[in-house]
Amino acid sequence: MLLLIDVGNTNTVFALYRDEEALGQWRLSTQRTRTAEEYAALLIQLLTIAGFAHKDVEAVVISSVVPQAVLPLRWMSRDFFACRAFVVGEDVDFGIANKLPNPREAGADRLVNALAAVERHGAPLIIVDFGTATTFDIVDDEGAFIGGIIAPGINLSIEALHRAAAKLPHIALEPPAMVIGRSTVGAMQSGVFWGYVSLIDGMIERIEAEHGQRMTVVGTGGLAPLFAKHSTRLAHVDKDLTMAGLLKIYLLNRTTIRAGRDHHA
């Protein structure tokens, strides 16, 4: 079996595959001080509850935007799964051309998402990822990553608004029926929700104007389905884009990764 790990700023997602079949997925909060033993204890317990044996994991592939998490996960793979973990961008390539002047500035998750999006939806395209930050990533006609936009994530914006203004309450994220708020909560919900819808559609229009053509738009992340219902441009929703990209990277490097396990054993 194959274990894929996506370390984000807020959550770390573990996904188990047999060949190309998804068997299960588990989510832990990302903690920069978590040890290899803590990762192993939590993950092995989750696998056991789901009816899987950790000794059957034959390969581990990691994408991480949190450098502090990489080494403990490598040690976990080595000591508890008898595998060498392959880290995307360090041990294996991303599988997509990166045209940034400084390619290292692109987060691993953004390149992994771009690889999967091109595979599933073609190019050129825009990927809108609703995570800790809201990112817009652009792939050109040749299927190469050319850059993007990073905006504060919507939950960060809600939290910042609540903390910075003493009289403003913490609100739930939901689309208000009217744009003009008739209460403090209604006004805040409109500003946050419809503000983000306008951000999405407006940024897509500006990207296309600068790039000189209309592009396919794909949304990913937990909030993508909510915004896709109200955006005029968010045409496709692909919630598991990162895992699809990691799986593609594994398939492209399967011989190398399997050889790494055999060498470790």
Specify the pLDDT at position 166: 62
Cα(25)–Cα(29) distance, integer angstroms: 14
| pLDDT range class, residue 261, cuts 50, 70, 90 | low
User: What is the DSSP pairing of strand 21-29 with strand 59-64?
Assistant: unpaired
Over the stretch 98-122, which tens digit does the pLDDT of each residue have? Answer: 999 999 899 899 999 999 999 999 9
Instruction: Mark which of 58, 87, 116 sits at the end of a domain.
Output: 87
Residue 251 lies in a domain: no
Pure H helices in the chain:
36-49, 67-80, 108-121, 154-164, 184-211, 224-228, 241-252, 254-264
**Are 113 and 236 in the same domain?**
yes
User: What is the DSSP pairing of strand 125-130 with strand 85-87?
Assistant: unpaired
**Are 150 and 190 in the same domain?**
yes
| pLDDT range class, residue 173, cuts 50, 70, 90 | confident
CATH number at residue 231: 3.30.420.40
Residue 95 lies in a domain: no
**Are 54 and 139 in the same domain?**
no
**Are 112 and 209 in the same domain?**
yes
Over the stretch 203-232, which tens digit does the pLDDT of each residue have? Answer: 999 999 999 999 999 999 888 999 999 999
Specify the pLDDT at position 265: 46
Q: How many residues does the chain have?
A: 265
**Residue 172 is which amino acid?**
A
Q: Could you give the 3-state DSSP secondary structure of residue 11?
A: strand
- Whether pLDDT at 72 is above 50: yes
> 184-211 and 154-164 are packed helices; what angle lies between their axes, rounded to 10 degrees?
140
- Whether pLDDT at 133 is above 60: yes
Q: How many CB atoms lie within 10 A of CB 51?
A: 8
The β-bridge partners of 151 are 134
Q: What's the whole-number mean pLDDT along residues 245-259?
A: 88
Which residue range forms the structural domain that includes residue 145? 103-242
Instruction: Mark which of 87, 119, 136 sits at the end of a domain.
Output: 87
**Residue 178 is which amino acid?**
M
**Are 62 and 113 in the same domain?**
no
Cα(112)–Cα(94) distance, integer angstroms: 6
Instruction: Provide the mean pLDDT of the chain.
Output: 91
Residue 37 lies in a domain: yes
Is there a catalytic annotation at residue 238?
no
Residue in 6, 93, 109, 141 annotated catalytic: 109
Instruction: Mark which of 87, 111, 141 sits at the end of a domain.
Output: 87
Residue 250 lies in a domain: no
The β-bridge partners of 223 are none
